[in-house]
């Protein structure tokens, strides 16, 4: 049977089976406290965006949550573009939500790329759903930020910005010293003078240097850079300043003056950067090396993992063997102990893999690879699990022969028994059925059932990384994804009907 036909048939059936919610089922908003005038007034020194986007950003900031969906829909019908809405969403979050801690309410910013990525993969009639969801989520985070102090990104001090020639060095020196004021000034100078490739290399290297915030710093580096590629680098300066501020988050004493555990791997791995053998990016692919390295991730320390990775590089292994182990081990952690920490093992490895592929500097790519190796044992150490599950020992469960029926059974099982669903996914893929049909269904259930930022971050990351894994291990990875995917039996998010009604 034609796999593309399979996809169409399933999507049609999934659409007919989706719940149609009455407006009476929408969440009540009467409990929200009305915003006061002072809540909507920006400080005089608040950062100002470019004149072509500032009015739209202000409008997103000031429109009450209970009206935003409907009023955005009206603007779209009158010609406001997707790109402008995406830009305003990101910039409103950057200006209004404190990036520390790098997570929690700041997910309103971190999730923008994931929502955009989901939109780009969606059928045209559903393309707006993720962005509308993200707009509503921003309003929730904006309200939380106001309750917690009403943080606002301010204008930089123009008098102390470094020259274009001095900005890269000033940026590195300030980050090495964990000097907030100097980092902010250097970042502003860098944004005005350096190219996107140079900026990514610098931010990627520093974004992965420590394990604080369970990978959110690296996630913010990757996600902000990718959104800027879509909305335009004319908006880069405030985004990069927010990012740099997030990257300096730490608890206690200045890390530059101590030896905290979160910095240990980053400092140790510097000894290997620049010492990779010639031709290290084109080694031999050995699935046995992938399995042996996965065992190091299961049993070894952060420093032992990077040391073994360096040994394999010197033995002529291809870096893809390490990435196969890293990505599949992150899925293994999710299956052993589903939850926030294991979920971030996946989203962090996704961000680090993106940086590894996107950076132009060979030494930055080496540092990112080594840090990805070291981070996995650190994630493992934050998880308490008695499960002995290994990604290479998946079993298959019986499924209907028909691909559409098999896929329906998979997603009907997800919310009842995730371990069984994983074995059914593995059977579905090993039978030669179309993985894209599975991805389309996973994305559709995300749109219908997704209710928080982690649903979007996780789904976008795991569906992307399927293609970054060697064919030998792809099915194992995708099977583990059901431990945080939405199934057909999950409750439909009431916001979906509100969005459809507004856009109808």
Q: Look over the chain and give the mean of its residue pLDDT values, rounded to a whole number.
A: 92
CB atoms within 10 A of CB 292: 15
Q: Are 313 and 279 in contact (CB under 8 A)?
A: no
Residues 177 and 298 both lie in one domain: no
What letter would DSSP give residue 384? -
Which of 251, 276, 294 is the C-terminal boundary of a domain?
251
| pLDDT tops 60 at residue 3 | no
Residues 204 and 78 both lie in one domain: yes
| Residue-wise pLDDT tens digits, 78-111 | 999 999 999 999 999 999 999 999 999 999 999 9
Residue 127, in any domain of the structure? yes
State how far the Cα of 204 lies from the Cα of 218, in Å rounded to an integer: 7
Q: Are 87 and 235 in contact (CB under 8 A)?
A: yes
CA terminus-to-terminus distance, the chain: 35
- Which residue is listed with tokens 């009455």? 22
**Residue 409: partners with Cβ closer than 8 Å, 6 or more residues away:** 399, 400, 424
Q: Which residues of 85-97 are buried (b: 16+ CB within 10 A; e: fewer)?
A: bbbbbbbbbbbbb
State how far the Cα of 399 lies from the Cα of 170, in Å rounded to an integer: 59
Residues 178 and 271 both lie in one domain: no
Please report which helix (H) or strand (E) contains residue 30, including its range: none
Which of 352, 381, 410 is the C-terminal boundary of a domain?
381
DSSP 3-state of 154: strand
Residue 31, in any domain of the structure? no
Residue 454, in any domain of the structure? yes
DSSP 3-state of 110: helix
**Residue 486: partners with Cβ closer than 8 Å, 6 or more residues away:** 414, 415, 442, 445, 446, 448, 449, 450, 455, 459
| pLDDT tops 90 at residue 453 | yes
Average pLDDT, stretch 204-218? 97
Which of 203, 229, 251 is the C-terminal boundary of a domain?
251
| pLDDT tops 90 at residue 26 | no
Provide the residue range defining the domain that includes 152.
49-251
Residue 365, in any domain of the structure? yes
Chain-centre distance of CA 50, in angstroms? 26
| Residue-wise pLDDT tens digits, 186-210 | 999 999 999 999 999 999 999 999 9
Residue 135, in any domain of the structure? yes
Q: Are 246 and 102 in contact (CB under 8 A)?
A: yes
Residue 30, in any domain of the structure? no
Residues 61 and 181 both lie in one domain: yes
Q: Encoding tokens for residue 23? A: 């407006």
Q: What is the gyration radius of the CA atoms in the chain, in angstroms?
A: 23
Residues 409 and 442 both lie in one domain: yes
Residues 238 and 362 both lie in one domain: no
| pLDDT tops 50 at residue 10 | no
**Residue 355: partners with Cβ closer than 8 Å, 6 or more residues away:** 200, 204, 207, 208, 218, 221, 222, 364, 368
| pLDDT tops 70 at residue 425 | yes
pLDDT value of residue 386: 63
State how far the Cα of 84 lies from the Cα of 395, in Å rounded to an integer: 47
Average pLDDT, stretch 216-227? 98
Instruction: Categorize the per-residue pLDDT at 160 as very low, low, confident or very high, splitting at 50, 70 and 90.
Output: confident
- Which residue is listed with tokens 């931010």? 203
Residues 61 and 180 both lie in one domain: yes
* Complete DSSP assignment for 45-108: TB----TTTHHHHHHHHHS-HHHHHHHHHHHHHTT--HHHHHHHHHHHHHHHS---SSSGGGHH
| Count of domains observed in the chain | 3
Residue 502, in any domain of the structure? no
| Residue-wise pLDDT tens digits, 470-497 | 999 999 999 999 999 999 999 999 999 9
| Burial tier of 323 (Cβ tally within 10 Å: 0-12, 13-18, 19+) | buried
| pLDDT tops 50 at residue 307 | yes
Residue 22, in any domain of the structure? no
| pLDDT tops 90 at residue 1 | no
Residues 117 and 61 both lie in one domain: yes
Spatial CA neighbour of 446 closest among 90, 8, 121: 121
Longest dimension (CA), the chain: 70
Residues 153 and 247 both lie in one domain: yes
State how far the Cα of 27 lies from the Cα of 30, in Å rounded to an integer: 9
**Residue 268: partners with Cβ closer than 8 Å, 6 or more residues away:** 303, 306
Residues 242 and 368 both lie in one domain: no
Residues 370 and 416 both lie in one domain: no
State how far the Cα of 461 lies from the Cα of 330, in Å rounded to an integer: 12
Residues 62 and 148 both lie in one domain: yes
| pLDDT tops 90 at residue 41 | no
């Amino acid at each position: 049977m034609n796999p593309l036909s399979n996809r169409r048939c399933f999507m049609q059936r999934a659409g007919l089976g989706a719940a149609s919610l009455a407006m009476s089922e929408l969440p009540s908003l009467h409990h929200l406290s009305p915003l006061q005038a002072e809540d909507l007034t920006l400080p005089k020194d608040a950062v100002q965006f470019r004149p072509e986007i500032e009015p739209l950003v202000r409008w997103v900031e000031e429109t009450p949550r209970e009206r935003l969906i409907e009023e955005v829909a009206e603007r779209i019908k009158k010609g406001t573009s997707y790109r402008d809405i995406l830009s305003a969403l990101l910039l409103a979050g950057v200006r209004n939500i404190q990036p520390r801690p790098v997570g929690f309410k700041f997910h309103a910013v971190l999730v923008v790329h994931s929502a955009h990525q989901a939109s780009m993969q969606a059928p045209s009639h559903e393309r707006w759903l993720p962005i509308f969801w993200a707009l509503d989520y921003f309003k929730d985070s904006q309200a939380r930020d106001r309750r917690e102090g009403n943080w606002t990104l301010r204008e930089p001090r123009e008098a102390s910005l470094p020259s274009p020639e001095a900005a890269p060095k000033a940026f590195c020196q300030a980050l090495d010293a964990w000097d907030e004021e100097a980092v902010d000034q250097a970042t502003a100078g860098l944004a005005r003078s350096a190219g996107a490739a140079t900026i990514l290399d610098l931010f990627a290297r520093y974004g992965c240097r420590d394990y604080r915030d369970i990978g959110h710093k690296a996630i913010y580096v990757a996600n902000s850079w990718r959104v800027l590629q879509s909305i335009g680098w004319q908006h880069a300066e405030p985004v990069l300043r927010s990012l740099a501020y997030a990257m300096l988050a730490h608890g206690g004493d200045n890390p530059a003056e101590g030896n905290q555990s979160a910095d240990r791997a980053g400092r140790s791995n510097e000894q290997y950067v620049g010492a990779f053998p010639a031709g290290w990016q084109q080694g031999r692919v050995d699935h046995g090396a992938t399995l042996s390295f996965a065992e190091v991730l299961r049993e070894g320390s952060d420093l032992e993992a990077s040391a073994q990775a360096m040994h394999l590089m010197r033995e002529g292994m291809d870096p893809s063997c390490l990435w196969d182990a890293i990505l599949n081990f992150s899925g293994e952690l999710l299956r052993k102990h589903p939850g926030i920490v294991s979920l971030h093992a996946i989203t962090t490895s996704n961000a680090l893999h993106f940086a590894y592929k996107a950076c132009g500097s060979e030494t930055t790519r080496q540092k990112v690879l080594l840090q990805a190796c070291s981070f996995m044992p650190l994630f493992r150490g934050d998880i308490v699990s008695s499960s002995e599950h290994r990604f290479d020992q998946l079993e298959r469960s019986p499924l209907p022969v028909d691909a559409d029926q098999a896929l329906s059974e998979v997603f009907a099982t997800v919310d009842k028994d995730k371990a069984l669903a994983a074995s059914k996914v593995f059977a579905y893929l090993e039978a030669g059925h179309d993985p894209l049909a599975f991805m389309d269904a996973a994305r559709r259930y995300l749109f219908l059932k997704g209710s928080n930022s982690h649903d979007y971050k996780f789904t976008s990351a795991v569906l992307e990384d399927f293609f970054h894994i060697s064919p030998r291990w792809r099915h194992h990875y995708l099977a583990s994804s059901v431990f945080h995917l939405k199934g057909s039996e999950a409750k439909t998010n009431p916001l979906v009907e509100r969005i459809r009604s507004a856009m109808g």
